Structure formats: structure tokens, C-alpha cells
Chain A
Amino acid sequence: MMVRALVVATALVAFAPATRASIAAEPSGGDARSDAKEQVEFGIKVAQNGLWKEATYRWERAVQIDPTYGAAWNNLAIAYEQQGNFDKAREAYEKAVTLEPKNLLFRQNYDLFKEINDRAKRRRDR
């Protein structure tokens, strides 16, 4: 299982849409949304293989490139949640829901997050 994940991860990184060095540079005039979308798609692939740190990096880049991209904020929130970074997750979910208030998927993710986070908070306060 681990070996399979490692092989998939290596392949994904090898065929990444852009290297970290080139990502770090600002998009050269191209369409910001399509550049951000590339990052989002790659982030999804690596997250599906359990590489949440790499996914977080990609989605952070996506929201830097296009801060109005709701899906990137939604995915970034999930990555923060998976890593226990609840304050950042809440901010990112709120951003996603504000950008696309009618998106039921974002709303559902946010509601599930709030349910767990609020329960944990209640336990701590008790």
C-alpha cells in the first residue's frame, strides 16, 4: 500500500504541471483562472494519494493566483481541516461560501466542519 502510494506520488510529481520554481514566479500574462485550475487539479490528484502537504501547497498557490476561485478555497479548507489547522480552515471555508453562496458542496463541507469543530470546542469548554 505504502509502496503503491510512493510510486503514484513520484509519478505525479514527475509529471506535475509546473515545477515549484516555475510556480513561484507569477503567471506571465496567461489566464489566472486556468493557471489556478491547473494547481487545483494537481492538488486533487496528490490529496487522493494522501499527500496533503503537497496538496495544501498547490491550493495555496491557486488562491494566490486567483483569489476569487471558490473551489480552490474549498479544497484548501479541507486540507487545513485534515491537518488540524481549524482557524485557517474556518477562514478558507468562509471565503469559499462567500464567493459562491449557492454552491451546496461548499456549504455541506463547511457544515460538517462546523459540526465537528463546535463539538470539540464544547468539550474543551466543559
Chain B
Amino acid sequence: MTARSAAAIVSLGLLAGSGACTSFYEIPIETPIQPKMDVSMFQRVLIAGFIGGGTDDVDANVETVRLLRSQLRSKSSLRVIDAEALHLTELAKDQVKTDPPPTPGGAADGQQVVPPLPPPTQAAENDPVKIRNEKDLEKYQSIFSDVAFWKKVGEEYQGPLIITGTVLFSPLATAGYVPVEREFFDQLGRRRVIQQRMYQERKGFTLQPKLIYIDGRTGATLYSETLREEILYPAQTNTPALSSYFELMDKLIPSFLNTLSMQKIRGTRVLVK
């Protein structure tokens, strides 16, 4: 018997004890959770695209756009705009290149003047952008605060709610002691399961999306949130990156949906006479 089932039995026993002199009725309830954002002024939503990074095995931008669109189509009242996903990494890279260098006047506010970096070589400019971690992502974050850019995107689609951001899907590896259940049969042939702690090497993935909600009429950011989930498997298990991505996204989707629409959490309570 596992500790969990033992706890359930003890709990039931206690409930029966406390309810011995009262009548009680278990009843299913659905608790409504209000959305985190008021989107009543929008009828349409554009999942514009994401700056993706981490691993090359999954195109985090394309997969996230596709998944969020399909979720919103079936679970939200907003009309989802079908448009090609923006390649924000390239756009942000261009923006970084064209940004004017800091003026010498910057030293007036007490900051040190940084000498300008040497111009990148032709080969470096043509390299595809490799984003491996949060630090790499930081360089491209400025695109999300570019109000004029988002206003222009919004004008193309008659001012919808724009959802964009960054998605980091990275491999993860750890080693340490983990609880495992070991099954054996005793002398009488009865099946027994014991809990043990075993040293195990594990690998998996972390998924860290930062979702940014932008008003397509003004280009201003309305709300943003960073979510994080990770999953680990024994090192010898060969789980495809894409299926891990969907497994992790499954855990994050309720929180994403709750930003835009009311969600109901099912549970039970006990009515008492």
C-alpha cells in the first residue's frame, strides 16, 4: 500500500468519524477563475510570432504559434487571425544592427562611455542567429518595446490583440538520487513494492515562454508573463524533443488560456446538514 492510499484511507476514516453525528453530501462544483486580462475591447487576436531558442530540434516559433492558435480557436471567443508567423529573430537582429550607436553625451548621467564595437565581418552577419540561453535572448528583447513596429503590425490587421514573446526550449541533464518503486515477490509468491532511492542520470527539457500581450491599436504592451516547466526522463530513455515540447506545453496551456478567458476548475466539496 502506498503512502498516498494510506493517507486517503485515514482521511476517509477521519471524515466518517467527524460526520458520525451529522449528515453530509459530497457535491461536484466548478469554481470559475476570472481571466487575468480584460480583452473585451478586442474581437480578434493575432499570434504574431516568437523569438525561439534553446535547441535546434524544435522550431519553437512555428510550433508555439501553431499550438496557441489552435487552442484559442477552440477555447476562446476571440477570432484567431490566420497569418504567416513573423520571424522575429531576424527582424530583431536587423533592428539591433540598425540601432544608432550611443552618443558620447551618455556619460553626462554618470555612465561610463563604452567604446563602439568593431563592425561585424560579412560572414558573422550572414550566420543564422543561435539563441541558446536567456542571455542570448536579452539582445533581442528591445523589439517588444518598439511601439511603432507593433502599431504597424496592428494596422495591417485592423488593431487586434497581438500575442508575441520569447520561447526558450532547452535540453537539461541532471544526476542525483530519485525515489523509485521496486517490485519483488516474497517466498509465498506475493507481489511487494518497496520505495527506494536510487542514483540516476536523467535528461529532459525546460520550456520557458515569455508571453507578451500587445494592443494592436497603439502598439503598447498590455500584459506579460513568464512561465516555466521542466521534464526529466531516465538517461537511457529516448524521448523525441517535439513530444517533450508538447508535454510541457500541455501543462502551461491552462495558464495561458486563463489570461484571456474564464476557466473553470472542477472539484468536490462536502455539504453538511
From residue A113, how far is it (CB to closest CB) to chain B in Å?
8
Q: Which residues of A contact B19 (CB under 8 A)?
A: 105
Number of A-B contacts (CB under 8 A): 70
Stretch of A4-12, A17-25, A40-48 with 4 or more beta carbons under 8 angstroms from chain B = A40-48
**Interface-forming stretch among B32-40, B59-67, B68-76?**
B32-40
Contact indicator B225/A105 (Cβ below 8 Å): no
If A105-B18, A123-B255 touch, does A116 touch B272 (CB 8 Å cutoff)? no
* Complex contacts, B24 vs chain A, CB 8 Å: 105
**Cβ A78 vs Cβ B29 within 8 A:** yes
> Nearest CB to that of A121 among chain B residues?
B33
Residue A28 interfacial (CB < 8 Å): no
Q: Quick one: closest A residue to B25, CB to CB?
A: A44
Which residues of A have CB within 8 Å of B33? 84, 116, 120
Flag if B31 contacts A116 (CB, 8 Å). yes
- What is the interface residue range for chain A against chain B? 20 to 34
| A44 and B270 in contact, given A123-B255, A126-B225 (Cβ under 8 angstroms) | no
A37 within 8 A of B: yes
Contact of A81 among B17, B29, B270 (CB under 8 A): B29
For residue A109, which residues in chain B have a CB less than 8 angstroms away from its CB? 269-270
Chain A residues whose C-beta falls within 8 Å of the C-beta of B27 in the assembled complex: 47-48, 78
Whole-angstrom distance between the Cβ of A123 and the nearest chain B Cβ: 6
Q: Please tell me if the beta carbons of A116 and B267 are within 8 angstroms of each other in the complex.
A: yes
Q: How far is B26's CA from A112's CA once the two chains are assembled, in angstroms?
A: 13
Interface residue tally of chain B, by bracket? Answer: 20 to 34
User: Interface code A64-95, partner B: CB below 8 Å = 1, 0 otherwise?
Assistant: 00000011001100100111100000000000
Quick check: is B273 within 8 A (CB to CB) of the other chain?
A: yes
For the complex formed, measure the closest distance between the CB of B227 and the CB atoms of chain A, giving whole angstroms.
9
Question: Does B36 contact A105, Cβ atoms closer than 8 Å?
Answer: no
Question: Chain B contacts of A126 at CB under 8 A?
Answer: 225-226
User: Which residues between 7 and 35 of chain B lie within 8 Å of chain A, taking CB atoms?
Assistant: 14-15, 17-19, 22, 24-25, 27, 29-34
List the B residue with the shortest CB-CB distance to A102. Answer: B18
Cβ-neighbour of B30 out of A71, A82, A103, A123 (below 8 A): A82
Q: Which residues of B contact A70 (CB under 8 A)?
A: 272
Which residues of chain A have C-beta atoms less than 8 A from B29's C-beta? Answer: 78, 81-82
Contacts A82-B31, A84-B32, A123-B36 given; indicate if A71 touches B272 (C-beta within 8 A). yes
Residue of A nearest to B19 (CB): A105
10 A-B residue pairings within 8 Å (CB atoms): A44-B271, A47-B27, A48-B25, A48-B27, A71-B22, A74-B271, A105-B24, A106-B272, A116-B267, A126-B225
Which A residues lie at the B interface, using CB under 8 A? 37, 40-41, 44, 47-48, 70-71, 74-75, 78, 81-84, 102-106, 108-109, 112-113, 116, 120, 123-124, 126
